[in-house]
Amino acid sequence: MAIPKLVIFDCDGVLVDTENLANRRLAEWLTAAGFATTFEYCRKHFSGRSMVSVQQEIEGTTKARLGADFVERWNAGLPDLFSHGVEAIPYVRDFIDKVRASGIAYCVASSARVSKMYITLGQTGLLPLFEHAMFSSTMVSRGKPFPDLFLHAAKTMGCAPADCIVIEDSVAGTEAGIAAGMRVFSYYADPLSDRDGLAAAGGILFDDMRELAGLVPIR
């Protein structure tokens, strides 16, 4: 396996542990809006997705209506939701340090807005490592599972897709990376991770960030 020229990190679930907090609130909001659901369902089906795509799917397939201001209300509530309880994914900082020491370029590409990444990465002390290159689905026309975001990140960073690897934890993100023509390493340490879905999407599975240095040729 060739040494990559760019490592693209997803944010939520890969760098920071936010998925449980976010999906518990999402389940509450969706149920209140008439789409009766559970935390477990949201965790499996909506992790790694932008709120725009979640709203489009629900309103396109059910009678539930989330409101024209749903996305704005969601984003307005994030500072409070993530004001405490957000931690870095165990051992991810060690892997980032190894990537940096090897001289390989890296960035973060998330379905979330950049403003949200500033909150969550800021809470965990990882923000200074990524401020140089932060990409959001708001920068492209189609979010994950489409490849647009990863292709945009690669182009901006000056790397061909085949020279990039993606670190993901969601099925949608894994599908996006594969569709972009990149190698994808899919993290499934969370008990609620869709391991079978990640494998079916084409990800190289791992459940401990300490494994990554052995899986990814960075030296």
Q: Which of 10, 163, 169, 194 is catalytic?
A: 10
Is-catalytic flag, 148? no
Distances (CA, A) of 118 to 12, 128, 136, 151: 12, 10, 12, 22
Q: Please give the Cα distance from 203 to 210 (Å, whole number).
A: 17
Establish how many alpha carbons lie within 13 A of residue 2's alpha carbon, considering only the half-sphere containing its beta carbon.
Answer: 10
Which active-site residues does the annotation give? 10
